[in-house]
Amino acid sequence: MTAPTAPAGLALASAGELLRSVPPESTQQAVGYPSLFLLVMLGALVPVVPTGAVVSSAAVVAFHHASPFSWLMVFAVASCAAFLGDVLLYCLGSRGSRSRNGSRWLSRLRARAAPERLELAQHKLREHGVLVLVLSRLVPAGRIPVMLACLLAAMPLRRFVRGAAPACLAWAATYQLIGLLSGSLFSEPWEGVAMAVALTMAIAAVPALWRRVRPAGDGGS
């Protein structure tokens, strides 16, 4: 499992790059939004980029800008990038599931989904259908097992899209809210970004901490 310091370093580097790329309003529109789009879409395809921290940091920057439309643009760009990334990854994984030799994308998904989490995702998918996709985007480390469960169940792309669209909207809104809250607490944008990154990293660390504590708490069951 990747050490928590690696995602934190990536988050800080991404947030720093975002801050450097968007000083004035005109630069934010010309460079900041495309950078946000590319980072979030890349994070959807390669789940090592801490996209939640990137969106929260962008929301902090938007909070400290005069234009009220900045918040709306961050939400629109982040949700669209996440949606396109999810759909593209699903298409790539679907091609691998139909191929005799599979694909490197499907192999990566399998490698990132622990057997017990995949089994739980398959069970939830059978019970609740595409609603699980919405919840998987909001639960740290929940997206990949659920997407893999959808692939193994041969879910049609159209049905996957119906679940992925509201999932990405809810995800973008949640992390933007974290950024707006962090930005409102400090007068300097960098302080709000630091707070947003810390909060998102703490949220991301919850599943790993829970897996470490649970065996001792369950008494070995």
pLDDT per residue as tens digits for the range 60-83: 988 887 677 888 899 999 999 999
pLDDT of residue 186: 82
pLDDT at residue 166, as a whole number: 95
pLDDT tens, position by position, 125-171: 999 888 898 888 888 888 999 999 999 888 999 999 999 999 999 99
CB atoms within 10 A of CB 81: 26
pLDDT for 21-46, tens place per residue?
544 555 555 568 899 999 999 999 88
Q: Is it the case that residue 220 has pLDDT exceeding 70? A: no
Cβ atoms < 10 Å from Cβ of 49: 20
Q: Which pLDDT tens digit goes with each residue over 118-132?
A: 888 899 999 988 889
Q: State residue 220 phi and psi, 5-degree precision.
A: 80, 5
Candidate ranges 25-29, 33-37, 97-101, 184-188; pick with highest mean pLDDT: 33-37
Model confidence band, residue 114 (pLDDT cutoffs 50, 70, 90): confident
- Going by C-alpha positions, the residue among 170, 179, 167 that lies closest to residue 70 is 179
pTM: predicted TM-score of the whole model, two decimal places: 0.77
Q: Is the pLDDT of residue 194 over 70?
A: yes
d(CA 76, CA 172): 8
CA distance 12 to 29: 22
pLDDT of residue 46: 84
